[in-house]
């Protein structure tokens, strides 16, 4: 419902720039609205402004008027991945400790399989390590050495640095990565290297270059993942910075004067100037996970599986006991093993733009992982796409209204979708076009459903214990299909803002920063279980993190006393290789009782994660890393609550359309999702649609509109 200009106050804009669509969620005092536009990869600011403008129109504001009243713009994205996939980043030079130049090339034993699909791993004849982003001739060692405790053994040789920097520049370096041994314990030498490079190529020269230090990007042990993290951040830095600069310039030209905030894949939101490029990787899906956790709180739901089917990919993540608890502390990004506490989101190539094709070797239908993207897009977009996609199949099956797709801004060519589905899929498989389209939908639903099952069952949970949240432009269209493959019977929640859910997640995310300190401390001695923890060292480590947090929050204009703090420790039993992350309320150690309680908390949370009988306190307990999260809570994104009315949905009936159900087309009632009211119930087979999505409800399922105006789908 349109609002008067005077009524629209306290506006915040949240953008999610995906591979196919750019989504916008605008929240304001008393409500919200959404906008959607195709992603313009040649200049992301174009699609971003179009999506903001689309949202502004719904509340009777111009783009400039909305931005003039806007208090914040937040940004999440998945497109930084393209820089890695296409290898379009700048040529970089790596400076490391002399004698350790080959660390990133040697990798580790699992480098052959890091990030690979099962079929790739099984085909050992074609297995290979990831192609390094920095080749050997661009890696230089310098004379210096710091030991594990941070003590300087060999001072940095300035002449060695100058010689190597000049050599790398002569070879074409456009930026530097500095990763020295044990720099996270003592960053003195890395800082000196940066100062030397700044002296050689100051900002007043065109030759000034970015310099990234490993202790600032990833202050953790393990030179291989720490160096990889810094290289990836440096490699993505230029393109991400270019996109953000372009967006910032366009926003400021239209009256926006505040800073841009970025959603981090760590679950934080921070200013652009304080965000490494690596933290923007997959930040869109992470924003969706944070939004899902907020909605679980609103609904009082403990467990939910969050499913996001967009134009390019299908993302799945879990909220367990009300929290997005699953982190990957050493994720693999484009086959590179890194050190980054990243919220875990499973991604597969199964979206609306996923291409349907017949494998010439097996004669079987496959869907994805290749995607048509936004340009040229699915065949039905009529913008040059020459391959049939999932969206084409949905159109052929009658699930999508060709005249209302993306609010009518993208007209769909059903004839072209039919022609390409026939020649590329139906004829090779000996099917008619409708059967082929149904097979495409069944295939992509099965692929997504299998991914969901693995995410839930392999963590020891029961699928029946989980509600399903469906978002993304194609999520509602396929929700019943992939939920059925999961083996659960719902309920499935589709929210009015589901098509721009990751942008909603950005709106409800807390402003937060993460600080960490890599320190090894023994809590319990192995064998005897004597209390060994050095209370002074523990308190010093925690106090140091709080000092950093207070300083960072103050610099960003926040009162540290308004923040919520969470201390996490990476701990393990003696002789274990992997750490387990535990939340610890003990901020100071003042007695032996505090030490015993710390050890007990680790054991309790370890058993909760890995099951009874898994704990082994006799092996001793160690702390390996301290991590502090400082957050300023967000109060946006609260759902409206309305009274439930009549069950009859007649006021929202649009008419009928032929749709494919159980092997044949049937005349099917079509309802307007935006006109359905709380309390209304529609039973399948039926179609429910809006300007941004479509819900096919099959026979045996019903859709109820709840008090929050959300569609709740379940079998009856």
For the stretch 358-410, pLDDT in tens is: 988 888 999 888 888 766 889 999 888 899 999 999 999 999 999 898 878 78
Domain containing residue 149: 88-241
CB-CB contact of 372 with 389 (8 Å): yes
Domain assignment present for residue 715? The answer is no
Pick the closest to residue 650 from 625, 672, 619 (CA basis): 672
Instruction: Tell how strand 664-672 and strand 653-661 pair up.
Output: antiparallel
Cβ contacts of 275-279, under 8 Å, gap ≥ 24: 276/212, 276/216, 276/217, 276/233, 276/237, 277/80, 277/232, 277/233, 277/234, 277/236, 277/237, 277/240, 277/241, 278/217, 278/229, 278/232, 278/233, 278/236, 278/333, 278/338, 278/340, 279/233, 279/340
Q: Which residue has the higher pLDDT, 243 or 394?
A: 394
Of 484, 508, 532, the position where a domain reaches its end is 508
Q: Provide the 10 A C-beta neighbour count for residue 651.
A: 12
Contacts of 215 (CB under 8 A, 6+ apart): 183, 184, 187, 190
Higher pLDDT, 124 or 132: 132
Residue 258 inside a domain? The answer is: yes
Mean pLDDT over all residues of the chain? 88
Adjacent-strand bridge partners of 565: 630
Q: Where does residue 609 rank: exposed (0-12), middle (13-18), buried (19+ CB within 10 A)? A: middle
pLDDT in tens, 592-604: 999 999 999 999 9
Considering the domain boundaries, does residue 710 fall inside one?
A: no
Residues facing residue 665 across a β-bridge = 660
Q: Are residues 387 and 336 in the same domain?
A: no
Q: Give the range among 237-251, 632-646, 692-706 with minimum mean pLDDT.
A: 632-646
Same-domain pairing of 108 and 192: yes
* Token couple for 537: 């060292």
> H-helix or E-strand containing 641?
none
Which range in 244-253, 306-315, 672-681 is most confidently predicted, on average pLDDT?
A: 672-681
Average pLDDT over every residue of 230-259: 89
Crossing angle of the two packed helices 223-252 and 44-58, in degrees rounded to 10: 60
* Mean pLDDT, rounded, for 40-66: 90
pLDDT at 4 over 60: no
Lowest mean pLDDT among 90-99, 238-247, 655-664: 238-247
State the pLDDT at residue 374: 62
Distance CA 465, CA 450 (A): 17
Do 171 and 256 sit in the same domain of this protein?
no
Verify that 397 and 474 share a domain, yes or no: no
Going by C-beta distance under 8 Å and a sequence separation of 6 or more, which residues neighbour residue 607? 614, 615
Tokens 């400082």, located at residue: 630
**What number is the average pLDDT over the span 190-214?**
90
Q: Using an 8 Å Cβ cutoff, are 553 and 559 in contact?
A: yes
Which is more confidently placed, 260 or 420? 420
Residues in the chain: 716
Query: Cα 521 vs. chain centroid, distance in angstroms?
Result: 33
Confidence of residue 79 (pLDDT cuts 50, 70, 90): low
Are 126 and 220 within one domain?
yes
- pLDDT bracket for residue 527 (50, 70, 90): confident
| Average pLDDT of the segment spanning 332-343 | 83
How many domains are contained in the chain? 6
- Final residue belonging to a domain, choices 280, 306, 337: 280
Residue 639 falls inside a structural domain: no
Query: What does the pLDDT look like over 310-328, one tens digit per residue?
Result: 777 788 888 888 877 666 7
Q: What is the CATH number of the domain that holds 452?
A: 3.30.420
In a domain, 52, yes or no: yes
Domain boundary among 632, 660, 681: 632
Work out the percent of the chain whose per-residue pLDDT is above 70.
96
59 & 95 share domain: no
pLDDT at 1: 37
| 709 in Cβ contact with 490 (< 8 Å) | no
Tokens describing residue 671: 């309802």
In sequence order, what DSSP letters do the residues of 96-162 get, joined into one string? Answer: EETT-TTHHHH--GGGGTTT--HHHHH-GGG--PPPPSS-GGGEEEES-EE-TTS-EEE---HHHHH
Instruction: Tell which residue, 349, 225, 221, has the closest CA to residue 278.
Output: 225
In a shared domain, residues 300 and 358: no
Mean of the pLDDT values across residues 664-676? Answer: 95
Q: Are residues 694 and 666 in the same domain?
A: yes
Identify the band that residue 489 occupies on the pLDDT scale cut at 50, 70 and 90: low
What value does the mean pLDDT take over residues 627-634?
86
- Alpha-carbon span 326 to 62, nearest angstrom: 41
At 574 the pLDDT is 87
**Given a cut of 60, is residue 2 above it in pLDDT?**
no
Of residues 283 and 90, the one with the higher pLDDT is 90
Residues 265 and 231 in one domain: no
pLDDT of residue 277: 87
**Domain presence at residue 712:** no
Q: Let me know whether 104 and 134 are in one domain.
A: yes
- Contact call for residues 61 and 11 (beta carbons, < 8 A): no
Please state the rounded mean pLDDT for residues 292-304. 89
Residues 111 and 235 in one domain: yes
Among 87-91, 160-164, 623-627, name the most confident range: 160-164
- pLDDT-derived band at 7 (thresholds 50, 70, 90) equals low
Summarised one tens digit per residue, pLDDT across range 14-39 is 998 877 788 899 988 878 898 888 88
* pLDDT surpasses 90 at 552: no
pLDDT reading at 187 higher than 90: yes
Q: Which residues contact 569 (CB under 8 A, 6 or more apart)?
A: 581, 582, 584, 602, 623, 625, 626, 627
Q: Is residue 229 part of a domain?
A: yes
The reply to whether omega before 491 is within 30° of 0 (cis) is yes
pLDDT at 3: 42
Q: Assess if residue 177 is contained within a domain.
A: yes
The CATH number given to whatever domain includes residue 263 is 3.30.420.40
pLDDT value, residue 575: 80
Helices vs strands, H then E, count in the chain: 18, 35
Alpha helices in 171-222 (DSSP H): 188-200, 214-217
Report the predicted TM-score, pTM, of the whole model to 2 decimal places: 0.79
313 and 275 in one domain?
A: no
- For residues 666 and 120, the model is more confident at 666
Q: Has residue 413 got a pLDDT over 50?
A: yes
Per-residue confidence band for 488, with pLDDT thresholds at 50, 70 and 90: low
The predicted pLDDT at position 71 comes to 87
- Sign of dihedral through CA atoms 43, 44, 48, 50? positive
């Amino acid at each position: 419902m349109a609002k008067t200009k005077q009524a629209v106050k306290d506006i915040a804009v949240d953008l999610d720039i995906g591979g196919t669509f750019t989504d916008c969620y605008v929240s304001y005092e008393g409500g919200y609205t959404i906008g959607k536009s195709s992603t313009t990869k040649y200049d992301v600011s174009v699609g971003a402004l179009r999506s903001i403008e689309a949202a502004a129109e719904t509340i009777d504001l111009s783009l400039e008027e909305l931005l003039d009243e806007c208090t914040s713009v937040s940004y999440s994205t998945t497109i930084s991945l393209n820089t890695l996939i296409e290898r379009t980043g700048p040529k970089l030079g790596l400076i490391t400790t002399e004698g350790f130049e080959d660390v990133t090339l040697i990798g580790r034993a699992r480098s052959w399989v890091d990030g690979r699909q099962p079929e790739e791993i099984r085909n050992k004849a074609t297995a290979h390590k990831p192609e390094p982003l920095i080749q050997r001739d661009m890696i230089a060692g310098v004379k210096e050495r710091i030991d594990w405790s941070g003590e300087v053994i060999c001072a940095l040789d300035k002449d060695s640095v100058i010689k190597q920097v000049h050599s790398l520049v002569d070879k074409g370096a456009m930026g530097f990565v500095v990763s020295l041994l044990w720099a996270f314990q003592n960053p003195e030498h890395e800082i000196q290297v940066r100062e030397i490079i700044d002296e050689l190529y100051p900002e007043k020269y065109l030759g000034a270059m970015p310099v990234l230090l490993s202790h600032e990007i990833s202050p953790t042990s393990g030179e291989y993942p720490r160096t990889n993290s810094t290289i990836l951040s440096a490699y993505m830095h230029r393109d991400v910075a270019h996109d953000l600069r372009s967006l910032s310039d366009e926003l400021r030209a239209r009256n926006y004067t505040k800073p841009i905030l970025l959603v981090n894949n760590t679950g934080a939101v921070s200013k652009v100037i304080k965000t490494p490029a690596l933290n923007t990787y997959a930040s869109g899906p992470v924003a969706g996970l944070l939004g899902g956790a907020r909605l679980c709180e609103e609904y009082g739901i403990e467990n939910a599986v969050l499913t996001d089917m967009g134009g390019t990919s299908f993302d799945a993540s879990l909220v367990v006991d009300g929290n997005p608890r699953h982190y990957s502390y050493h994720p693999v990004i484009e086959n590179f093993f890194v050190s980054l506490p990243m919220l875990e989101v499973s991604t597969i190539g199964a979206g609306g733009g996923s291409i349907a094709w017949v494998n010439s070797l097996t004669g079987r239908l496959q869907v994805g992982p290749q995607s048509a993207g936004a340009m040229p897009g699915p065949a039905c977009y009529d913008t040059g796409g020459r391959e049939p996609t999932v969206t084409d199949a949905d159109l052929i099956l009658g699930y999508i209204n060709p005249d209302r797709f993306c609010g009518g801004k993208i007209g769909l060519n059903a004839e072209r979708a039919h022609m390409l589905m026939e020649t590329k899929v139906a004829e090779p498989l000996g099917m008619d076009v409708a059967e082929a389209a149904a097979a495409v939908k069944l295939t992509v639903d099965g692929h997504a459903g299998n991914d969901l099952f693995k995410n839930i069952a392999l963590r020891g949970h029961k699928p029946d214990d989980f509600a399903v949240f469906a978002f993304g432009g194609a999520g509602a269209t396929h929700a019943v299909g992939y939920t059925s493959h999961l083996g659960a019977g719902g309920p499935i929640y589709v929210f009015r803002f589901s098509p721009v859910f990751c942008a909603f997640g950005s709106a409800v995310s807390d402003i937060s920063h993460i600080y960490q300190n890599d320190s090894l401390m023994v809590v319990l001695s192995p064998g005897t279980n004597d209390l060994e923890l050095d209370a002074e060292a523990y308190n010093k480590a925690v106090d140091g993190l709080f000092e950093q947090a207070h300083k960072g929050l103050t610099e960003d204009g926040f009162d540290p006393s308004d923040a919520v703090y969470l201390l996490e420790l990476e701990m393990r039993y003696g002789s274990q290789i992997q750490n387990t992350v535990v939340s610890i309320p003990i901020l100071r150690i003042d007695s032996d009782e505090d030490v015993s309680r710390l050890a007990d908390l680790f054991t309790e949370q370890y058993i909760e994660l890995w099951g009874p009988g898994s704990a082994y306190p006799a092996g001793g307990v160690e702390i390996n890393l301290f991590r502090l999260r400082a957050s300023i809570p967000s109060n946006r994104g609260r759902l409206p609550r309305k009274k439930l009315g009549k069950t009859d949905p007649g006021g929202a009936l649009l008419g009928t359309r032929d749709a494919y159900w159980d092997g044949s087309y049937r005349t099917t009632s079509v309802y307007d999702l935006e006109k359905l009211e709380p309390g209304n119930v529609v039973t399948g087979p039926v179609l429910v649609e809006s300007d941004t999505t479509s819900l096919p409800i099959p026979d045996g399922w019903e859709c109820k509109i709840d008090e929050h105006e959300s569609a709740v789908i379940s079998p009856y």
